[in-house]
Structure 1
Amino acid sequence: MADTKGARTSARLVESMLELIQTRGYSGTGLNTVVAHASAPKGSLYFHFPGGKEALGEKAVELAAERFRTIVAAEGTPGQVIRRVLDALARLLEEGDFQLGCPVSVVTLEMGAESDRLRAACADAFESWVAPLAVHLVAHGRADGEARSLATATVSMIEGAVIMSRAQRSVTPLRCAADALVPLLDGP
């Protein structure tokens, strides 16, 4: 995307939507709040996102997916990569006083049954995390089917650990997930 005033405004709106979903949930995030948080003119919201809140939510999910993919794409053994992912998530939770959650899981839980567009965006986001992890596992000697299954289970465990960590206001569930996943991913 070109670095224009419009592109910057659009990016601010998406970033604001993402941050607000993490702290307030999708349903608890109103468009007026997003516009104020982004310091954007109200008219720019519908100019950039004619589909309204649903379109903006979809872009926020895509941004969250891309950020997580960047972490998963790191070098090292699969266990080392997942340890870094879980350490990064633990830091995020602690620095955010356990107020920030995974926006993809939040949108899935709140809107998955109500909006096919948002459900599909969330499914794509999860797939964008599973697929590169499966490729990484294959590159480290796992068979395709086993790698896919293990990658899916890994992402599922990470999502559950984030939710439990928020509920307990402790990163212990993330640490336990790392302790279980690292040997499993780096095993035979």
Structure 2
Amino acid sequence: MTGTKGAETSGRLVEAMLELIQVRGYSGTGLNTVVERAGAPKGSLYFHFPQGKEALGERAIELAAVRFRSLLVDADLGSTAPGDVIRRVIDVLAGLLEESDFQLGCPVSVVTLEMGAQSDRLRTACANAFDSWISPVAEYLVGLGHSEEAARMLATAVVSSVEGAMIVSRAQRSVEPLRCVADMLAGQMEGTEAP
């Protein structure tokens, strides 16, 4: 029972950290606020994360990576129409932005921009998160006949473009940048011959 309770508390702390990073950024998220939002006992933070804020931030990034990878899988990467896949992913992301009144962004890009030069641990977690999104897209493209090298390059461009469009959409308070990227990527992915 204690293990379950401990895992539940740890999970609430990670979830709270993730939510706060999305709204306030990594630097703007204090540990007292995380504990308060998680409804956790104050001492539980260092019990579960003895290495402090970076360890908690790393776990939050890992959670964000898992969730976005699930979004990719749910978009049905088995589809034979790459444009449809990209549009389904963009529709979900646009919906998340609009529902949050453009307050929630990608926590991985936020942490990368804020801490990538200061914390190798967090930079590595972010790099791993991005790779966990690039890899299934690349695998999908290989399945469509692209060489592994070309698929990896195109998948990297897809993830990078979507990340950039999320940032511009938040700044402009409009999903139009995401829609433009969806159209551009759909055309690129459907019009590109598999090398």
2:16 corresponds to which residue? 16
1:133 corresponds to which residue? 137
SS of the residue 1:42 aligns to: coil
What is the percentage of aligned positions where both structures have the same residue? 70
1:175 corresponds to which residue? 179
Residue 28 (structure 1) aligned with residue 48 (structure 2): no
**CA deviations over 1:159-186 (Å, ceiling 9, x no partner):** 0000000000000000000000112122
Distance, in Å, in 1 between the alignment partners of 2:87 and 2:11 is 30
**CA deviations over 1:107-154 (Å, ceiling 9, x no partner):** 000000000000000000000000110000000111111100000000
- Report the TM-score when normalising by structure 1: 0.96
**CA deviations over 1:9-66 (Å, ceiling 9, x no partner):** 1111000000000000000000000000000011111111111100000000000000
Residue 112 (structure 1) aligned with residue 141 (structure 2): no
Q: Is the 8 A contact 1:130 1:148 kept in 2?
A: yes
2:58 corresponds to which residue? 58
Following superposition, which runs of at least 4 residues in structure 1 exceed 4 angstroms of deviation?
none
**CA deviations over 1:84-117 (Å, ceiling 9, x no partner):** 1111110000000001110000000000000000
SS of the residue 1:165 aligns to: helix
Judged with a 3 Å threshold, the aligned counterparts in structure 2 of structure 1 residues 36 and 177 are, in CA distance, closer, same or farther, namely same
Tell me by how many angstroms 1:3 deviates: 7.3
1:41 corresponds to which residue? 41
- Report the TM-score when normalising by structure 2: 0.93
1:154 corresponds to which residue? 158
Distance, in Å, in 2 between the alignment partners of 1:123 and 1:23 is 21
SS of the residue 2:65 aligns to: helix
Tell me by how many angstroms 1:68 deviates: 0.4
Task: Provide structure 1 residue ranges, at least 5 long, that are not aligned to the other structure.
Answer: none
2:169 to 156, 165, 177: 165
Tell me by how many angstroms 1:79 deviates: 2.4
Tell me by how many angstroms 1:78 deviates: 2.9
Distance, in Å, in 2 between the alignment partners of 1:146 and 1:38 is 43
2:102 to 98, 103, 111: 98
Instruction: Tell me the C-alpha RMSD between the 2 structures.
Output: 1.2
- Give matches, 1:66-81, under 5 Å: 66-73=66-73, 74-75=75-76, 76=79, 77-81=81-85
Task: Provide structure 2 residue ranges, at least 5 long, that are not aligned to the other structure.
Answer: none
Distance, in Å, in 2 between the alignment partners of 1:8 and 1:24 is 24
The one-letter amino acid paired with 2:96 is L
The one-letter amino acid paired with 2:67 is R
Q: Is the 8 A contact 1:78 1:133 kept in 2?
A: no
